[in-house]
Each structure stands twice: as structure tokens, then as C-alpha cells.
Amino acid sequence: MNGFINLNKPVNWTSHDCVAKVRKILRTKKVGHGGTLDPAATGVLPIAVGKATRLLQYLPGDKAYLGTIRFGVQTTTDDLEGDVIASQSCGDLSLSQIESLIGNFIGDIRQIPPSYSAIQVDGKRLYELARKGEIVEVPGRNVQVFTIDILDWRSGEYPELDIHISCGAGTYIRAIARDLGYACGQVATLAKLQRTVSSGFHLADSITLEDLQTQVDAGNFQPLPADFPLQYLPSIHLDPDFAIKWCHGQKIPYETQTEGLLRVYEKHDFLGIARVEAGLLIPKMVFV
């Protein structure tokens, strides 16, 4: 069994928990995920099965989220999973103030990931260091935020803002919530998060772990094709003789005006991923 599952991750499950559950349901060890989701978050978690795990590194980085930011509260983790370290009334904060500042978080921006994150510093995860009480300088990173749409605003002592964000890989929505609070002269934290898009997988087409179990029990489960999330890459179809050579690791002459990664096929069969360089089709990952 080789392919992908568009999983709708439940709340309070880690991404690793989901992988372990899928392994148990499918009775196979070769399972991996693309794009970690925090335990408190829900939504799209791409799951690779079998040889498709080798394709995880080639998934596109596009992502989209529905989130709720709560102002007046600051936590150790920048979401409601952490301990509250500051609380202050924000009753005077207005939507117009938010609207005047939100544009600063769109485009190529620099952000500092939360202290509780999977970023590695000197070979150790930040969340591991944070749990030990070790204070380290968290390196900033450049990320891309394509759009931020304001969906709803609920005023009050601890007002909440509902937003839709589309962004590139590596963007921390928790950091946007935290920094938007600072920009307003307040503190803020992420109160809720749902991922609606990840690497070409959409929430509307996702399945739950219960759905997966039901399909497997009924004998009608089929993973999505291994090349499903790779449609952003151009494709090439090889003749049988060239296909055999390429699958054996040989470089094939290929003239084109562009260089980069390609999906490789023989007729309708997905063979893997190649890189075009200096007029050659070089095997990067042979799937068959």
C-alpha cells in the first residue's frame, strides 16, 4: 500500500499520535506525516504510507488556517496550552486598530518562533529546552504570509479576532498572534487553530481516523495516489526504453529551457522525481 491520506487531525492529538494510530489501523510500519500540527490544533495533516513516505520532502509548502486570537492573555506557549504569564483587560482595543496593523504581517516577514516549538538549536528541540527551564535565544526566520482576512471581531475585556491566513512553510500562527498583540500595545495568544489546506490537501476532502477505520474494516480503503500532492511539478513521459534506463539510475538526455524538478511517468505509471540539469534528466527519487 503506497500513497497519501488526507487526515483531519483531532484536537489533543499530536501528529506522532496520528501516525501511530494509522500504523495500527493499516497494520503497516511505514507511515509518516507532512507538516506538524500542534496538539491543540485540528485540520489537515497529510499522511504518507509505504513508499510515499519518500515523497514527503517534495510536498509543496502552501498552507492555510482558520484561527482565533485572544487579546489580553499571554502564555508560555503562545496558545492556550501553556501557562498564563500575563493577563490584562483590553476593553479599549478596537477592530479599526487591528485593521490598521494587520498589513504589517503580510508578505515576506521576519518572525521569532515560539519557545515551545520543534525548531532545533544546537541539535535540541526548543520545546525540550523550554520544558527543562533552559532559556535560549530563539533564532528568527523569514516566512511568507500571502493573505490575512479578518472574519469576525468580538469586543470585550478579552476580545477575540477570527482570521483566515494563507502562508508558506514554516510560518507559526502562534507567533503572528503574539506579535499582533505586541503591535497593538497589548498581549495576545492563539486561542484556536484549524488547518484548512496543507501541501495541496484540503479540509473539505479530509477523513477522520474513525472514517479510516470504517473504510479499512469494510475493505474499501484506498490511499490517494502517491503523485497526488505533486501536481505543482511539471511532468514528463518517457518511452519504455528510456524509462527502464532512468529507473536504473541512468541520466537521460533531455533538452528544455528550464531546470528543476519534474514528475516522471511511463504512460500513466508514476516512476518518480527527476531533476533537469545541463540537458540531463537526473533521477532524484525512483518510486517504482
Instruction: Write the pLDDT tens digit of every residue in 24-42.
Output: 999 999 999 998 898 899 9
What topology is assigned to 3-60+200-218 in CATH?
Pseudouridine synthase (3.30.2350)
E strand segments, 18-119: 31-33, 42-49, 63-71, 73-75, 84-87, 107-111
Q: What is the mean pLDDT of residues 139-149?
A: 93
Residues of the chain with CATH 3.30.2350.10: 3-60+200-218, 63-194
Catalytic residue IDs: 38
Question: CATH classification of 233-286 is 2.30.130.10, yes or no?
Answer: yes
Residue 189 · residue 182 · CB < 8 Å: no
pTM: 0.90
Q: What is the mean pLDDT of residues 158-184?
A: 96
Q: Is the pLDDT of residue 263 over 80?
A: yes
Domain range 63-194, its CATH number among 3.30.1300.10, 3.10.530.10, 3.30.2350.10, 3.90.1560.10: 3.30.2350.10
86 - beta bridge partners? 74
Strands 42-49 and 188-198: parallel
Query: What value does the mean pLDDT of the chain take?
Result: 92
Residues of the chain with CATH 2.30.130.10: 233-286
Strands 201-202 and 188-198: antiparallel
Q: What is the mean pLDDT of residues 221-236?
A: 96
CA dihedral 109, 115, 116, 117 (to 10 degrees): 40
**Confidence grade of residue 120 (pLDDT, cut at 50, 70, 90):** low
Say how many C-beta atoms besides its own lie within 10 A of residue 205's C-beta: 10
